[in-house]
């Protein structure tokens, strides 16, 4: 299959890799991965498929591991000592965006993801500042990974053909840094992600209004910023009249660091 070959090529999977796959189905991509990778861990919640997969992947023995559970409930302990270095999947579209961000956040061993997703999700992943698809998701994913490649997949590659367009994207893990090039501590990464949520709480409104809306319902330490957004924007050197979609990755980090300084004071 030409699409499978393109996925394998884009993913750059090799014999030293342990690959994590979600939604293997009958194992078409799984077999291709097993031919190139050192091992594959497939996660499938459909209880009718394990016997089919076990038979299909039997020639690879212990190199293949099947986890019968919901991918949203996957934990590090499920890997039983194996550390997946690459995430390669034809993802279930309903949970694709959530899984990509969640796995980069929680599974530090994953160094790249090459995944088939709905075109709209791919557009959000690849979005540039000030584009219509640029939003909180783009910013938050950008705290963990950077897009490296993409190709379109037409509906004609499936039977029956779906009503949505698809694309395969590759993301490589990236360590977020401050303006001096120093890696950010995890609390600053998480706080920067909260800043993205706040900036896009009310789309197409100024960040001043959007932050007020977000903070009015915020719980925990971040609620300390309520009523202090003017100081926050001043510390980050950002005009409060701007809109969230105009802020760069670096400016969101500046907001996260400013918020942290205010909360620590």
Q: What are the φ and ψ backbone dihedral angles of 65, each rounded to 5 degrees?
A: -125, 130
What is the per-residue pLDDT across 145-190, written as a single tens digit (0 to 9) for each? 999 999 999 877 776 677 789 999 999 999 999 989 999 999 999 9
Radius of gyration of the chain (CA): 20
> Which domains can be identified in the chain, with CATH numbers?
2-133+145-173 (3.40.50.150), 186-264 (1.10.8.100)
Q: Any idea what DSSP says for residue 166? A: E
**Taking 80 as the threshold, does the pLDDT of residue 123 lie above it?**
yes
Helix (H, G, I), strand (E, B) or coil at 21: strand
Mean confidence (pLDDT) of the chain: 95
Q: Any idea what DSSP says for residue 37? A: S
What is the per-residue pLDDT across 198-250, written as a single tens digit (0 to 9) for each? 999 998 899 999 999 999 999 889 999 999 999 999 999 999 999 999 999 99
On whether the CB atoms of residues 66 and 23 are closer than 8 A, the answer is no
**Could you give the CA distance from residue 125 to residue 168 in angstroms, rounded to a whole number?**
11
pTM (global) more than 0.85: yes
**Taking 90 as the threshold, does the pLDDT of residue 77 lie above it?**
yes
Tokens describing residue 214:
């977000």
């Amino acid at each position: 299959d030409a699409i499978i070959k393109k996925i394998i090529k884009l993913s750059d999977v090799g014999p030293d890799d342990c690959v994590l796959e979600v939604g293997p189905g009958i194992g078409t991509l799984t077999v291709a991965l097993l031919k190139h990778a050192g091992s594959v861990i497939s996660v499938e919640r459909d209880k009718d498929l394990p016997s089919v997969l076990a038979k299909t992947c039997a020639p690879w023995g212990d190199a293949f591991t099947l986890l019968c559970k919901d991918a949203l409930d996957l934990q590090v302990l499920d890997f039983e000592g194996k550390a997946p270095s690459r995430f390669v999947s034809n993802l279930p579209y309903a949970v694709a965006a959530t899984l990509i961000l969640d796995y980069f956040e929680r599974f530090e061993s994953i160094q790249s993801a090459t995944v088939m997703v709905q075109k709209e999700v791919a557009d959000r992943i690849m979005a540039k500042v000030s584009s219509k698809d640029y939003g909180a998701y783009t910013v938050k994913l950008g705290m963990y990974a950077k897009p490296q490649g993409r190709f379109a997949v037409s509906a004609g590659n499936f039977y029956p053909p779906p009503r949505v367009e698809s694309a395969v994207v590759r993301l490589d893990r990236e360590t977020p840094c401050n303006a001096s090039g120093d890696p950010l501590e995890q609390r600053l990464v998480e706080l920067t992600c909260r800043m993205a949520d706040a900036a896009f709480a009310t789309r197409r409104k100024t960040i001043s209004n959007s932050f007020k809306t977000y903070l009015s319902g915020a719980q925990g330490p971040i609620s300390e910023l309520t009523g202090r957004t003017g100081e926050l924007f001043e510390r980050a050197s950002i005009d409060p009249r701007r809109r969230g979609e105009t802020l760069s990755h670096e400016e969101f980090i500046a907001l996260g660091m400013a918020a942290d300084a205010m909360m620590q004071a």
